[in-house]
Amino acid sequence: MTSSYIIGLDYGSESARGVLIDVVTSEPVASHTHNYRNGIMTRALPDGTPLARAWALQNAADYTEAAEDILATLGRGKTVLSIGVGFTASSPMPATQNGVALSQLHPGDPHAYVKLWKHGAAQPYADTINSRGGLFLDNFGGKLSGEWLLAKAAQIADEAPATWDKTDRFIEAGDWLVWQLTGNEARSLGFAAYKAQHSEVSGYPQGIVPGLSQKLSPPLRVGSAAGQLSNAWRERTGIEGDAIVAVAVIDSHVVLPAIDAVSSGCLVGALGTSAAYLFLNENFRPLPPGIEGVARDGSVRDLWCYEAGQASFGDTLAWFIKAFPRGDTPAESFRLYNNEAANIEPGANHLVAVDWWNGNRVPLADSGLSGLLLGLTMETTAVGIYRALVESLCYGAKTVVDLFEAGDFTIHRILMTSGLAQNNPLLVQIMADVMERTIEVPEIANPTAVGAAIHGAVAAGLVLSYPDGAARFGARTFKPYRPRMENAAVYRALYRTYRDLCASDAMRDAMHSLTEIATAPAVRAEPTAAEGRPVA
């Protein structure tokens, strides 16, 4: 009998990875990772065109290059029944009517490229939209984030109207990739609802950005088939079989079925470059103040999923070990810092940090904020600072839990997944201590890619439901991290200090002022005669 397989693709901020799963044994048999050729463009385009501060772009050509490499490596000559895609969001891009990336046609135009989720230059446009208000904000705490699609569309329309006029389709990069693979423009309800405020009742918001509604299209709920892999892509990759491609899913959401988070009362944290927190509920309840958004059928079918997050998580620690390395490689630096930080008792480093290194998602939705380190003394060490940064990430996570519980939501189970949850046990243990809750970490390799594969299996009808897919292909064991109650009192005090700092209007005003100073054009006074100016 010919073996058959399913493939899951996981597109992150720096790279894409794929996993190949045997349909009969339900076991992953291979995986492959591809680093993007151009990475995250923050300083210049590939042709050298400089970028302004707070820009973060990507090249859509990197996504198709990654797809060809991964699909060919995993699937050449194999019978592939389905392909699922998880994609970092919100990362929208302009395209033509036929799906050609505008950056391919105009490589020197910054606004023609993908605006990655961490593109902070769109925040002022989000602020303007928020000031006007509207019913479309009701399920999103009354405010947009600058990370989302509407703000980025507004930026292009205002700053590059000629580019906006050339944009036939403004589309999430994940949806665009599915379009490339199948030849069909099949948008995901997850992207549309959480990142473009689409409503089942009223559709996309109207009157926000000129011409935007004509550049969008109706979405399909998760687990829907976008179509089969096109003949052109079969030739490029050597894939055989039906190869049904599912609509894309937000990368932090796509993991849910892989870790058995398919029932009401689960709170999941996807701890990656940023962190996303997802709470599943069978019945709709009003959005708790501070939580980002809620939608049904955008993450797992037939469940409402409430979304929150931290704009900076793993990249905060990655910045620190890059700026202050202790080993010859990042992995060695992480190992050394974690080993030494584990020996510091809670509070002994005399530090509290605020985790806004890339802005704040919850509860402020303000990408113009920045990080803070309080309590520096002549005895402060690099390891002490590292520990404070780890703790700050845990305080941010506890803030999310507090917001849900303040909204009278009952959390039955907390799971943490993705790279940091699996690779940094110190962080997860401190998080359990801070929350005073048991945290489970699924013991499964490549959970996000496996989750994408399960979405593909649902779309192809290989499993009847997400719970069936989770039972067949998902995690089977979970590692519990139980709180060490001897640390609880100290962490309660530190957390109160953290929350007091976060509530400070003066602190936030200072952060905004620093951002304004840093982004203002440089003005140099005319030199005086004493400085060497010629005197008539």
Tens digits of per-residue pLDDT, 103-138?
999 999 999 999 999 999 999 999 999 999 999 999
Residue 428 dihedral angles phi and psi, to the nearest 5°: -65, -40
- List pLDDT tens digits, range 21-67: 999 999 999 999 999 999 999 999 999 999 999 999 999 999 999 99
Contact 133, 142 (CB under 8 A): yes
In this prediction, residue 1 carries a pLDDT of: 59
Q: Which range, of 310-314, 386-390, 455-459, 530-534, averages the lowest pLDDT?
A: 530-534
| CB-CB neighbours of 285 under 10 Å | 12
Rg (CA), the chain: 23
- Whole-number Å distance between alpha carbons of 233 and 256: 28
Q: Which range, of 97-101, 368-372, 393-397, averages the lowest pLDDT?
A: 368-372
Residue 393 dihedral angles phi and psi, to the nearest 5°: -65, -40
| DSSP code string of 375-442 | ---TT--HHHHHHHHHHHHHHHHHHHHHHHHHTT----EEEEESHHHHH-HHHHHHHHHHHTS-EEEE
**The model's pTM:** 0.88
- Confidence check: pLDDT of 366 > 90: no
| CB-CB neighbours of 529 under 10 Å | 8
| Average pLDDT for 169-180 | 98
Contact 337, 381 (CB under 8 A): no
Q: Average pLDDT over the chain, rounded to whole?
A: 94
Angle, helices 488-502/382-406, rounded to nearest 10 degrees: 80
Query: Of the candidates 10, 32, 155, which has an alpha carbon nearest to the alpha carbon of residue 87?
Result: 10
| Average pLDDT for 377-401 | 98
- List pLDDT tens digits, range 522-532: 544 454 444 44
Query: Of the candidates 241, 208, 216, 244, which has an alpha carbon nearest to the alpha carbon of residue 228?
Result: 244
Domains of the chain, start order: 4-253 (3.30.420.40), 258-448+460-520 (3.30.420.40)
Contact 102, 96 (CB under 8 A): yes
- Whole-number Å distance between alpha carbons of 32 and 49: 32
Say how far residue 340 (Cα) sits from the centre of its chain: 29
Query: What string of H, E and C letters represents the secondary structure of 282-297?
Result: CCCCCCCCCCCEEEEC
Contact 156, 163 (CB under 8 A): yes
- Whole-number Å distance between alpha carbons of 71 and 292: 34
- Whole-number Å distance between alpha carbons of 145 and 123: 7
Question: b/e string for 201-230 if b means 16 or more Cβ within 10 A?
Answer: eeebbeebbeebeebbeebbbbbbbbbbbb
- Whole-number Å distance between alpha carbons of 30 and 10: 14
Query: Of the candidates 249, 310, 300, which has an alpha carbon nearest to the alpha carbon of residue 277?
Result: 310
In this prediction, residue 531 carries a pLDDT of: 45
- List pLDDT tens digits, range 63-93: 999 999 999 999 999 999 999 999 999 999 9
How large a percentage of the chain has pLDDT more than 90? 89
- Confidence check: pLDDT of 459 > 80: yes
Contact 10, 86 (CB under 8 A): yes
In this prediction, residue 130 carries a pLDDT of: 94
